[in-house]
Structure 1
Amino acid sequence: MSKLSYQRLDELLEHFIQQPNPTPMKELTAAFAVSDRTIRTDITNLNDTLKNVGAVVSLIRGKGYLLAVNNQAVFEEWWKESTDSVETSLASTEERQHYLLFTLFKATEPLNLDAFLDQLYVSKNTFYSYLKTIRDQLLPYGLKIVNRPNIGFEVVGNEFAKRQAISDLLIGKDLQEYLIGFTETELALFDNIDLSLLQELELTYLTPLDLLESDYYHKNILSHFALALSRLIDGKSISEMPVKIPQLKKNAQQLMQQFFTKLEESFESQLPQEEQDYLIYYLSVNAPRFVVSDPAIIQSESIADEIVEDLLQGIKHTSNYDWTQDAILIKDLTSHIEGFIHMNSLDAGHSNPLLETIKQSFPLAYDLCLTHLESIGTAHGLYFSEDEMGYIALHIAGALERSSMLENRKYKVILVCGTGRAMSRIIEAKINKRYQDKFEIVERLSYVELQQQPLATIDFVITTIPLDQLEIPFIYIRMGQLDKDIEKIDQFLTAFETHASTVMDLFQEDAFHLFEGVVTKEALLKTMCASLEEKGLVPAEFYASILAREAISQTNINQLIAIPHPMSLLANHSRLSVAIVPDGVDWGNQETVQFVFLFAITKEDYEDTGDIYSLLLDFMERTDLQQAILSNPSFEGFLAQFKEL
């Protein structure tokens, strides 16, 4: 087991500790069978650790590399602790199981039980319990762990499936670590190849393919290339490919052949056709734009166009977000979905390591996709998995961000004038000259027409006719003092914005619930919905729509907060119903939440829900406020804490 990040670093440091004289680069490359560049990278990595423990590996010009210990006591204490920590580094069951799986895949020959027990520091019974868990993990890949008498344990099955399992189960996809270089697990898995050389060749020969436009997909390609080369060098080559191999476009095909030739030359290994097919397959999965379209899906571009149009029209219909003219979003979404259609033709779905982050950071964007993509996919004979919806939600989140960067939404205004169309046009022109950046006059009506006009989507009215009352704010301007009274709109706007509804107004005591003791998810939601229905805030079908949404995917955004909402915007009036559950409520999948925010939002108010999500995301990070509310689970206590956000 490695004391440092990977085995070769351990061996390199031990070499320097035992070597009193400088070691030339040529001896190091020969001893470790890697290139000059890899040795220099290893020494840089080594020095990152040694700088904190009183030592450094330095280059003695003309002689080689030498370990210099500046603080012998600190270094010796660290080295002893590093050696001792090998036995305790596998502290958790998950770490031991991960290490067991790593060892089984990494081994070049079967390993006996005693070797495992020595490495894992566990009893025989515990070892077999770990083995059962790992066997269950490998079942979906068609792999088995067998124990050959007098030989040892090994994983048996198709080599392609083994590589899938290694990628899915061992190589962590934590974005920060995964994207900026090879992870510690990858360095350990691929310690028999020169990763710096591989990356240099890939960047040199495949640059025209522009693989760097996505860090994530590029890293996937590079990681699978390293996995293939490492396994091949260890004698674990693919004998058959159980998946369809796509045909690359001519340019990509030529570049890949040049790359294969250089790989064989640089790593002194022959790439059998199956291994070349493996590399082509993973290039295609992560960059489907290089695949020659199957005649059966030659219309993928037009299908993608239709899906994007259906999605954006669906979002427009169920909310006030209108992105049907957003050229950036349409272009990016169409390109992404066209690639998705290609991957479907390869039967190559891909996991989304960002999925949980997307759900938590961009819940509004994710929910807009979830609401529409299932039915859209069915209509086009496609299945959008949660992973795929997460990728699409990133594009929607980008559109949301661009929207928020634009000017604040203009107020929607009706102009009421009783002296005819010509005069109303003059008044409109005067108002627009001064306030066109503040509001949009959507209708010019007479007094009688105003009485018949629905005002749900209107912010306020400007009228030249005195009105006694109106269900929304209005300002009266006199025809005889038109220019002077138009100036009063400034004061009106200031007062209107001061008293405008805020997110906090959505919280009301009559929609606040405290559930003490045990309560089921269904009972909690039924109580909250019934309370809203009794007040006329939502229709009778609201509860059924909430359950339908939960059936698609449960709405907790972490193991603390849930944000249930209906399939469509059914609310008659907007309200954010709150439930505090100090003992927690089982939300499904063994996840318990203590705070439930039930969304009852009208279509007119939906565009402002981004502020609500932002508030809840801030709340999710504030454990101090969460504990304060749980300690004082009253409406007053809740509101006081929320106002701290």
Structure 2
Amino acid sequence: MNIDGCERRRELLKALRATIAATPLTVKNLAELLHVSVRTVHYDLDILTDELQDSGVRLCRKARYGVWLETDADDSKQPLLQTEFLSPKERRDFIILELLADGWHAIDEIAEKLSISRNTLLADLKDVQELIEARGLVYESKRGAGISISGSEQSIRDMYIHIFAKADYDFRYGINRKFPVQSAQGAFQTYTAKLPLEDIAARFIALMKKHGILENDASTNRMICALAVQVKRLQAGKELTCSQKVSFLGNEGTTLTNLAMEIAQVMAAFQKGVQNAGEIQYLIRELLHSRIYLFADKSGDGGPKDVNLHALKLSRRFVEQAQVWLGDIYQDDDELIYNLAMHLQPAIERARFGIVLTNPLLGQIQEQYQSLYMVAHKAADRLTEELGIRFTEDEIGYLTIHLGAAVERKRLMQKQKLSVLLVCGNGIGTANLLAMTLKNHLPYINIRDCLTLQTG
């Protein structure tokens, strides 16, 4: 049983609820129930003790006796005991979702909805304000009125998508409507309850298959969340006016714009207004943000996609800068040059359009490949300075993956290995990172090629 810390603590809290009207549970009992170590249970109990402060519920522990919960009042006045446990980050997301609704919001009403104390909410609001303002929104607090959020329509949509897309969905195989209300999936389901979400997801996925775009689940999930938010906002009369257009390096701009227009045509069956100029730009932006990019294919035989010549030039320039610190020659690594060019094309357009990409592997990359990450950062800074743009750390993390794969390829090139074909369900960058990890742990293999759903 492999569950993350927050989900594990939810299960722990569920088990402890029974101790209010029954005997305590020992740490050993809890460890066996959750299939984790005693040490992990102690760790989770420490976190729960902090999280339950000011909630009206106390977590009690006594050596050689057990662990149990006590309440300050009868159970009917303790909503926490009937709802799912939220981590601080999840709680802040739910607060933001409440504030994104139009108008002013009373603090006591928000606290009651989330089953938390007023003091806990006030403490959370400091972080909430920082998160909101970092995404270009305005946070206002007025005595007697409450709190409100305002900002551009694009910023508001971005905030919704940022929260909803954190969760894992399975849109390819239908919509699961059984998630707890107080979970990221549950919040999204509540938001889309009156939308034909199954049809929206099915039609979008069918369109991607038609164009041979088989993106990873994270890309598909994020884009479907973006489509749902678009429909909901249009239903509320919140239309996007035509904003700054994305400037593309080559004719891929036309290709991606045509894809966005085709998506809008499909979505028009669900909501009017999706084919307006501002909404088309929204779709282009979200395709780039979701890392869904349609390259021109001029080969006609299913061969490699046509990479813009300028992107190839920039790729070689990036490698030249990286070699200043790597002290090796990688200009003859055609796979590195090609893969970097494939990534740089949409990456530069994201930077020009101000799209902040989230890299879920960034922490792992910075920790395990610290030196290589710094090399990629320095090379990227030199390159983007020439272009008048700037890459985010998340984007540089993806560039590090490509560099790391090339370093490992060079190191193992001359050794006799067992030939292996690696097939990965995600993008080429993730496939290359997986290849590098496998080579580190299985030095006797030679990964001859990496295939993804996009190329397979």
Q: What TM-score, normalized by structure 2, do the two folds share? A: 0.58
Q: Check conservation: 2:165, 2:222, Cα contact below 8 A.
A: no
Question: Aligned equivalents of 2:107 and 2:215: distance in 1?
Answer: 47
2:267 to 256, 260, 263: 263
Question: Aligned equivalents of 2:394 and 2:95: distance in 1?
Answer: 28
2:161 to 167, 180, 192: 167
Q: Check conservation: 1:90, 1:96, Cα contact below 8 A.
A: no
2:97 to 102, 127, 134: 102
2:338 to 325, 331, 341: 331
Question: Aligned equivalents of 1:319 and 1:130: distance in 2?
Answer: 44
Q: Which residue of 2 aligns with 1:309?
A: 316
Q: Of the two, which has the highest radius of gyration?
A: 1
Cα distance change on mapping 1:378 and 1:211 into 2, 3 Å: same
Shift of 1:365: 3.8
Work out the percentage of aligned pairs sharing the same amino acid.
19
* AA partner of residue 282 (structure 1): E
* AA partner of residue 333 (structure 2): D
Q: Check conservation: 1:147, 1:153, Cα contact below 8 A.
A: yes
Question: Aligned equivalents of 2:255 and 2:325: distance in 1?
Answer: 44
Cα distance change on mapping 1:221 and 1:308 into 2, 3 Å: same
* AA partner of residue 333 (structure 1): L
Any idea what SS the aligned residue of 1:98 has? helix
Q: Is it true that 1:133 corresponds to 2:127 in the alignment?
A: yes
Q: Is it true that 1:353 corresponds to 2:355 in the alignment?
A: no
2:351 to 338, 344, 359: 344
Q: Check conservation: 2:105, 2:146, Cα contact below 8 A.
A: yes
Cα distance change on mapping 1:86 and 1:253 into 2, 3 Å: farther
Query: Alpha-carbon deviations, 1:609-637, whole Å to 9, x = none?
Result: x99x969xxxxxxxxxxxxxxxxxxxxxx
Q: Is it true that 1:240 corresponds to 2:234 in the alignment?
A: no
Any idea what SS the aligned residue of 2:94 has? helix
Q: Is it true that 1:156 corresponds to 2:150 in the alignment?
A: yes
Any idea what SS the aligned residue of 1:205 has? helix
Cα distance change on mapping 1:330 and 1:178 into 2, 3 Å: farther
* AA partner of residue 224 (structure 1): A
Question: Aligned equivalents of 2:87 and 2:342: distance in 1?
Answer: 43
Query: Alpha-carbon deviations, 1:177-218, whole Å to 9, x = none?
Result: 368878615434433323321121112234344432455444
Shift of 1:241: 4.9
Question: Aligned equivalents of 1:396 and 1:179: distance in 2?
Answer: 32
* AA partner of residue 406 (structure 2): A
Cα distance change on mapping 1:208 and 1:130 into 2, 3 Å: same
Q: Check conservation: 1:138, 1:144, Cα contact below 8 A.
A: yes
Any idea what SS the aligned residue of 2:214 has? helix
Q: What TM-score, normalized by structure 1, do the two folds share? A: 0.42
Shift of 1:354: 2.2
Q: Is it true that 1:144 corresponds to 2:138 in the alignment?
A: yes
2:110 to 108, 113, 116: 116
Query: Alpha-carbon deviations, 1:15-43, whole Å to 9, x = none?
Result: xxxxxxxxxxxxxxxxxxxxxxxxxxxxx
Question: Aligned equivalents of 1:326 and 1:226: distance in 2?
Answer: 42
Q: Any stretches of 5+ residues in structure 1 without a counterpart?
A: 6-79, 292-299, 410-609, 616-645
Question: Aligned equivalents of 1:179 and 1:314: distance in 2?
Answer: 41
Q: Check conservation: 1:238, 1:275, Cα contact below 8 A.
A: yes
Cα distance change on mapping 1:365 and 1:189 into 2, 3 Å: farther
Q: Which residue of 2 aligns with 1:230?
A: 232
Shift of 1:335: 2.0
Q: Is it true that 1:399 corresponds to 2:406 in the alignment?
A: yes
177-186 vs 91-100, which moves further? 177-186
Question: Aligned equivalents of 1:136 and 1:287: distance in 2?
Answer: 30
Q: Any stretches of 5+ residues in structure 2 without a counterpart?
A: 1-6, 8-74, 176-183, 297-306, 417-435, 442-456
Q: Which residue of 1 aligns with 2:395?
A: 388
Q: Check conservation: 1:221, 1:283, Cα contact below 8 A.
A: yes
**After the TM superposition, which residues 174-573 of structure 1 pair with which residues of structure 2 at under 5 Å, given as runs?**
177=168, 184=185, 185-213=187-215, 215-233=217-235, 235=236, 237-244=238-245, 249-250=253-254, 252-265=256-269, 267=270, 269-271=272-274, 273=276, 274-285=278-289, 286-287=291-292, 301-316=308-323, 318-319=325-326, 321-403=328-410, 406-408=413-415
1:89 to 84, 94, 104: 84
Q: Check conservation: 1:312, 1:324, Cα contact below 8 A.
A: yes
Q: Check conservation: 1:288, 1:342, Cα contact below 8 A.
A: no
* AA partner of residue 109 (structure 2): A
* AA partner of residue 346 (structure 1): F
Query: Alpha-carbon deviations, 1:413-462, whole Å to 9, x = none?
Result: xxxxxxxxxxxxxxxxxxxxxxxxxxxxxxxxxxxxxxxxxxxxxxxxxx
Aligned residues: 322
Shift of 1:362: 3.7
Query: Alpha-carbon deviations, 1:480-513, whole Å to 9, x = none?
Result: xxxxxxxxxxxxxxxxxxxxxxxxxxxxxxxxxx
Cα distance change on mapping 1:151 and 1:137 into 2, 3 Å: same
Shift of 1:404: 5.5
Q: Check conservation: 2:171, 2:201, Cα contact below 8 A.
A: no
Q: Check conservation: 2:105, 2:148, Cα contact below 8 A.
A: yes
Shift of 1:401: 4.3
* AA partner of residue 366 (structure 2): K
Bigger relative contact order (CA 8 A; separation at least 6): 2
Question: Aligned equivalents of 1:309 and 1:254: distance in 2?
Answer: 30
Shift of 1:148: 7.4
Any idea what SS the aligned residue of 2:149 has? strand
Cα distance change on mapping 1:173 and 1:147 into 2, 3 Å: closer
